[in-house]
Structure 1
Amino acid sequence: MSVTPLATVPSAQPAPAFRGRIGRDARSGHYAVPRRYRLHLTPSCPNGLRIAVVHSLLGLDDVCPITFLDAVPDGPDGGHSALRPLYEASAHRYAGPAAGPVLSDDWSGRIVSTHAPDVTRDLAQHFGSGRPALYPCGAESEIEAVERLCRQGIEEAAQQAGAAVSEPAAQDAALGRLLETLGSLERWLVGREYLIRDQITAADVELWVTLVQLDTVHRHHLDADAVHRIAGHPALWAYARRLTAHPAFGSQLDLAGIARRHHARCRGLEAAGAAVQILDWAAHATRTS
């Protein structure tokens, strides 16, 4: 897939606190041993949902168990109190939020990584033998391009388009960038079942989660006309419906948790687009692949 580079937009997300890797650094001792590692996540969080879908696609329930966190962090700093012992055991006098998702090492009781892209890659590469190839040989640059496109052209553009503090011109420019990105994806997906290969890859997980967020979160801060224009990409939303009907995707979708998390965290103003749902995610998630 050819992806036109987009202008870099500063991200409000904090840098990951831990970035250990499984099977990469012999000095770390993080060897790929089944049932040694544990995931701590909530599917109401975009990064948690990405990891949960990859975990489900790979069938890793018996290899790397999941401890599910509440949809809304209970700490005053936006962290999860259940994760505080792990953070304090992993970093001396750690003072930041105990945020998820987390990949921990049950042997040491410490955190390996809080960086979602690294976690999904390590799960697929070190525990994915004989399972779906979510990172096919030669596809890494394409997957990274899709990640950038989703982050900058959809996620950040939608946030800016719906930001109450933005100037109208800036909002219009952001909406234009969002629609341009969706239009390029629409044209690309015509006649294709998946994004970059003839099978599900990590690129499909990335785009699907981004579309879920666009419809269940960002839509609430856009006007109705903008949402109708976003919905006017039939191939793109048909693609989202197909993936939602796949058990590994739809079974991880916690719509109530996403709504709770959004209302607990969001300080923006609700707009008319909140009444214009693009997909009935719950209905499509009840189907089988």
Structure 2
Amino acid sequence: MAYVNPSGEFTRDQRYISTRITADGRDGYPVEPGRYRLVVSRACPWANRAIIVRRLLGLEDVLSMAIAGPTHDARSWTFDLDPGGRDPVLGIERLQEAFFARFPEYDKGITVPAIVDVPTGQVVTNDFAQITIDLSLEWRKHHREGAPQLYPEHLRDEIDEVNRYVFADVNNGVYRAGFAGTQEAYEKAYRRLFDRLDWLSQRLADRRYLVGDTITEADVRLFTTLARFDAVYHGHFKCNRQKLTEMPVLWAYARDLFQTPGFGDTIDFVHIKQHYYVVHSDINPTRIVPAGPDLSGWLTEHGRAALGGRPYGEGTPPPLRADEAVPAGHGADQAS
């Protein structure tokens, strides 16, 4: 949920369910293979992070995943991609049902990613930032052999600092521009966004990844916004000083990650465009979904390997499960 304050500034409701699933079960929800279901939409950048982290860590067999459709109404995300419009494991039509099962008077946002306790059908958490950290730390016993260290202890302070900047100015910054209620609020958000993108370009000019020499949680968080930039944010949210393809360092960095197993193969451009252009009818009242942009550039040479670095550290690329692959024609192979 979000609102525009009297000065026209977009404000995100960050009151998430803070219950955690931990190795010691201190919140009443211990890590247990098969007990929980991760609910996502491929359209949502916050959920996309959880998809990427789950895949990089190899948690597919211990934490199942439900994929909601790309559009929703005021009541929440729906499972319209599944036969009969119901999630086959949870047996529900709307994610809202899992929230109300635990909190009958729940009045905050019904958001993804969310993790649901399968035996009770009750939501456990929708705290997107904590979910991916806990997948790295609390679920470690169940990581695949060769899983990367996405939140290594010696880099956590730096990762957290970068994440704070990226969330405030980029991840949430595009929304602050897109949903601004006044010209002044829009221009303030616009300048803040591109100032931070310039800062990131400088940071990444001589290093392959945001923190250290391997992929970390920081790269996951930035990537999901960059992947949506030209397809949605540049036009729909008026973030149009430049396209991503016109920012050489960030474009090469984004392509590098896109071509790294676990990243680009989770991106569904069809769902992404349908979500933003259809759901945000206040911004796009015709609900016409643009035919472009041309996506073929995502698969072109990026040259970033010359900067060194090891994507997975001492680990290995994650395998791709056929039953979780993005449908043909929905990724960078989509016809322009």
Normalising by the smaller structure, the TM-score range is: 0.7 to 0.9
Higher helix share: 1
Matches within 5 A, 1:47-196: 47-73=46-72, 75-80=73-78, 81-94=93-106, 98-129=110-141, 131-162=147-178, 165-167=181-183, 170-196=185-211
1:244 paired residue among 258, 280, 299? 258
Q: Work out the percentage of aligned pairs sharing the same amino acid.
A: 29
Matched position secondary structure for 2:123: strand
Task: State the alpha-carbon separation in 2 of the partners of residues 18 and 69 from structure 1.
Answer: 20
What SS does structure 1 have at the residue aligned with 2:66? strand
Indicate the SS of the match to 1:226.
Answer: coil
Q: Distance in 2 between matches of 1:156 and 1:97?
A: 16
**Does 1:197 find its partner at 2:196?**
no
Encode CA deviations 1:196-252: one digit per residue, 9 max, x unaligned: 011111100011012123222211146696125x64421111010010011201111
In the aligned structure 2, how far is the partner of 1:108 from the partner of 1:165? Answer: 41
Contact 2:175 2:237 (8 Å CA) reproduced: no
Question: What RMSD in Å do the two structures reach over aligned CA positions?
Answer: 3.1
SS at match of 1:41: strand
Cα 1:42–1:79 shift into 2, 3 Å: closer
Q: 1:286 to 1:32 in 2, by over 3 A?
A: same
Q: Which residue, 212, 218, 230 being the options, matches 1:215? A: 230
- Alignment check: 8 A CA contact 1:160 1:166 kept: no
2:210 is paired with a residue of what secondary structure?
coil
Query: Does the 8 Å CA contact 2:69/2:77 hold for their aligned counterparts?
Result: no
Structure 2's unaligned 5+ residue stretches are: 1-7, 79-92, 301-330
Query: Does the 8 Å contact 1:146/1:206 carry over to 2?
Result: no
Cα distance in structure 1, aligned partners of 2:239 and 2:128: 33
Q: How many residues align?
A: 273
- Classify 1:87/1:243 alpha carbon distance in 2 versus 1 (closer, same or farther; 3 Å): same
Say which SS state the counterpart of residue 248 (structure 1) adopts.
Answer: coil
Distance 2:173 2:27 in 1: 38
Q: Distance in 1 between matches of 2:248 and 2:33?
A: 42
Q: Which amino acid aligns with 1:209?
A: T
- Please, what TM-score do these two structures have when normalized by structure 2? 0.71
Cα distance, 1:158–1:82 mapped onto 2, change above 3 Å: closer
Question: Conserved in 2, the CA contact under 8 Å of 1:215 and 1:278?
Answer: no
Shift of 1:253: 0.3
In the alignment, the residues of structure 1 paired with residue 294 and residue 14 of structure 2 have an alpha-carbon distance, to the nearest angstrom, of 32
Segments of structure 1 that go 5 or more residues without pairing to the other structure are 1-8
Report the 3-state secondary structure (helix = DSSP H, G, I; strand = E; otherwise coil) of the residue aligned with 1:247: coil
Residue 70 of structure 2 aligns with an amino acid whose one-letter code is A
Shift in CA distance, 188/26, structure 1 to aligned 2, threshold 3 Å: same
**C-alpha spacing 1:232/1:85, structure 2 compared with 1 (3 Å):** closer
User: What whole-Å deviation, never above 9, does each CA across 1:237-281 have from its counterpart, x for those lacking one?
Assistant: 1010010011201111010001110012222269xxx89959646
Q: 1:174 to 1:12 in 2, by over 3 A?
A: closer
TM-score norm. by structure 1 comes to 0.81
